């Protein structure tokens, strides 16, 4: 929640200049440190660039998850999406990392599509809208290549019979005043929104119910979703489940500046359904760290740290540390101009999205095989 700092991070709002170190303190999570990274790499054999770059930078109970993997009973993965629209590149970040964890640890993934959430939080959405977007988003999930036999995707409204029976156990233990404190709800918040956190928590306990034995659960997500899981962790022991563990990433910034990409401003994000023309236009208009004139930029250099184009390369599109540092130095010295970086990023994004779109189309044929139904 907002305090003296001028940034806000909740599951529904990310604004201001987020101080990620402060957020770790504010949320009471732990930093991913060298020792933990070493332990993860001991199992994965390679260091994912999102760990190396400090993009996945915070966690809760990761060591317990690794203990469970090493000594039994193992663990499962859980992540999700609130289908309020099409998928953008920010959403893909935690999913790409989740895929890496699934591949390396060979574990199951439960993927929750919270169509109920997006209906209840957005007055302009009808149930059919969020359901349609849920199936559109599911194509993006499958396109990333998750292992079919180990991945179960569901919509809250369609898997309701199973979910409801777990969610009521959570809801019974969560007071209105807790949701006010954690999420900033007020007396005028609709009761569906207040209830919703019990559905997001319930998925962390779903594997235990399905398997009939207590099952550790690891949730990779951006740090904006952590408040739901603070509630889930508080409640878990009182209703006979393990507390879910988490590993959090930072937020891919908006193309228009530093806050979260906004669904109400489509030009601030690149969507997986965007055409090459749209990508070209969005990156062309992106906020950069450039100066007002070419002369001034050559003289003073650019500012990569505030540049959305540089951030996109850093977070997603250029994993070559040396090449990226080289670009940074050339920007700082004024040798490299914004048009050049925009061109490079446009080529990388267009290529990535066109490959993704091919896989996304193929996903239609196998979609049903991934769906969990009751």
Residues of this chain that interact with ligand TYM (CB under 6 A) are: 11, 78-82, 90-91, 93-94, 112, 114, 117, 200, 203, 219, 221-222, 224-225, 249, 251-252, 260-261
In the complex, least distance from residue 30 CB atom to ligand TYM, rounded to whole angstroms: 18
In the complex, least distance from residue 248 CB atom to ligand TYM, rounded to whole angstroms: 8
Choose between 236 and 336: whose C-beta lies nearer to ligand TYM.
236
Rg (CA), the chain: 21
Choice between 91 and 291, CB closer to ligand TYM: 91
Smallest distance, ligand TYM to C-beta of residue 251, A: 4
What's the CA gap between 44 and 247, in Å, rounded? 16
Helix or strand (DSSP H, E) at 363: helix 338-370
CA 80 vs. chain centroid, Å, equals 8
Phi, psi of 245 (to 5 degrees): -95, 160
Q: 148: which 2 tokens?
A: 């079919």
Name which of 174 and 219 has its Cβ closer to ligand TYM: 219
Of 332 and 348, which has the nearer Cβ to ligand TYM?
A: 348
Q: Output 27 or 334, the one with its CB closest to ligand TYM.
A: 27
* Least distance CB 222 / ligand TYM (angstroms): 3
HSE-up of residue 126 (Cα within 13 Å, Cβ side): 3
Q: Which is nearer to ligand TYM, 77 or 336 (CB)?
A: 77
Q: For ligand TYM, which is the closer residue by CB, 243 or 291?
A: 243
Q: Least separation, in Å, of the C-beta of 200 and ligand TYM?
A: 5
Strands (E), the chain: 7-10, 13-16, 30-31, 56-60, 76-81, 109-113, 151-155, 217-222, 245-249
Q: Is 249:316 a contact under the CB 8 Å cutoff?
A: no
Q: Give 94 or 301: the residue with its C-beta nearer to ligand TYM.
A: 94
CA 111 to chain centre: 12
Closer residue to ligand TYM in complex, CB, 144/332: 144
Question: Closest approach of Cβ 97 to ligand TYM, in Å?
Answer: 10
Contacts of 347 (CB under 8 A, 6+ apart): none
Rounded least distance, CB 16 to ligand TYM, Å: 14
Q: How far is the CB of 153 from ligand TYM (least distance, A)?
A: 12
Residue nearest to ligand TYM (CB): 82
Q: Are 207 and 166 in contact (CB under 8 A)?
A: no
User: What's the rounded Cα separation, in Å, for the pair 228 and 201?
Assistant: 7
Sign of CA dihedral 349, 353, 354, 359: positive
Q: What CA–CA distance (Å, rounded) separates 140 from 370?
A: 12
Residue 140 neighbours by CB under 8 Å, 6+ apart: 87, 91, 92, 95, 272, 356, 360, 363
| Residues across the chain | 374
Query: Closest approach of Cβ 59 to ligand TYM, in Å?
Result: 14
Q: Which is nearer to ligand TYM, 105 or 316 (CB)?
A: 316
Two tokens, residue 339 = 């048009």
Give the C-alpha separation, 127 to 134, whole Å.
11
Least distance CB 357 / ligand TYM (angstroms): 19
């Amino acid at each position: 929640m907002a305090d003296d700092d001028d940034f806000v991070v909740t599951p529904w709002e990310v604004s201001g200049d987020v101080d990620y170190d402060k957020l770790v303190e504010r949320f009471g999570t732990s930093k991913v440190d060298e020792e933990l990274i070493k332990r993860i790499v001991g199992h994965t054999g390679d260091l994912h660039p999102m760990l190396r770059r400090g993009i996945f930078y915070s966690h809760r109970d990761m060591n317990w998850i690794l203990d469970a993997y090493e000594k039994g009973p193992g663990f499962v993965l859980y992540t999700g999406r609130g289908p309020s629209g099409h998928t953008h590149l920010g959403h893909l970040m935690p999913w790409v990392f989740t895929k890496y964890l699934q591949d390396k640890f060979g574990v199951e993934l439960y993927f929750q599509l919270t169509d109920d959430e997006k209906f209840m939080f957005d007055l302009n959405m009808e149930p059919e809208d969020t359901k349609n977007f849920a199936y559109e988003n599911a194509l993006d999930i499958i396109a990333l290549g998750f292992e079919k036999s180990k991945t179960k995707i569901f919509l809250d409204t369609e898997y309701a019979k199973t979910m409801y029976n777990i969610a009521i156990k959570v809801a019974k233990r969560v007071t209105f005043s807790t949701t006010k404190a954690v999420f900033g709800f007020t007396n005028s918040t609709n009761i569906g929104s207040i209830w919703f956190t019990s559905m997001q928590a319930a998925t962390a306990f779903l594997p235990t119910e399905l398997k009939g034995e207590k099952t550790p659960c690891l949730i990779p997500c951006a740090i904006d979703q952590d408040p739901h899981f603070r509630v889930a962790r508080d409640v878990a022991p009182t209703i006979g489940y393990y507390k879910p563990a988490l590993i959090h990433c930072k937020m891919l910034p908006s193309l228009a500046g530093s806050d979260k990409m906004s669904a109400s401003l489509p030009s601030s994000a690149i969507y997986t359904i965007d055409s090459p023309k749209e990508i070209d236009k969005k990156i062309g208009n992106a906020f950069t760290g450039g100066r007002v004139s070419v002369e001034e930029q050559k003289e003073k250099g650019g500012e990569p740290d505030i540049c959305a184009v540089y951030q996109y390369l850093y977070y997603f599109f250029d994993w070559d540390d040396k090449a990226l540092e080289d670009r940074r130095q050339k920007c700082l010295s004024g040798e490299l101009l914004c048009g050049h970086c925009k061109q490079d990023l446009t080529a990388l994004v267009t290529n990535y999205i066109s490959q993704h779109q091919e896989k996304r189309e193929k996903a239609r044929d196998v979609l049903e095989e991934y769906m969990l139904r009751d």
